[in-house]
Amino acid sequence: MATLRNLSFAGLLGLGLVAGCSSDDHHASRDRNNGDVVLSGERRGEPVDVDAHTARKLPRDARVVDEGAGNSLSYSARGDGEVYLNDRSADTVVWDSKVRDGDRITIDPGRNRIEINGREQTKIDLKSSDRFQLYFLGTDNRNTSRDYDYRR
């Protein structure tokens, strides 16, 4: 009788673990410390290439400065801050970097190039058919009191 009860308990525990896992390919959560949106995901089971130094967080106050699919993105920084490249098709921040006022950021998914002032920043595989969004957050703009909807 005790063995049957233990097996039943183990089976229920296993079902609980399986039910708690999501089969959704896209995942977003709020960082409990500062409310930033944490993006991670896969596209149709394919892993997304992410720069090893990327925080994978998109601050709520960051604003979209350029976006598109199949074409280059660019932005000239208007002040010091940080830029974030979001692979919107996979809901994943694939690269981020600090920038200074006047820095020119260029993203060319077709050539797998991410540049600041003409200098390559990382070597990651950007899916040229994906939709990308380039975000900017100025150093003086960090405000964690507002909610941020990353699904624009």
**93 three-state secondary structure:** strand
What pTM does this model have? 0.65
Average pLDDT for 98-112: 96
Which residue type sits at 113? R
In the chain, domain spans: 25-141
Average pLDDT for 109-125: 94
What pLDDT, on a 0 to 100 scale, did the predictor assign at position 43? 46
Sign of CA dihedral 55, 56, 60, 62: positive
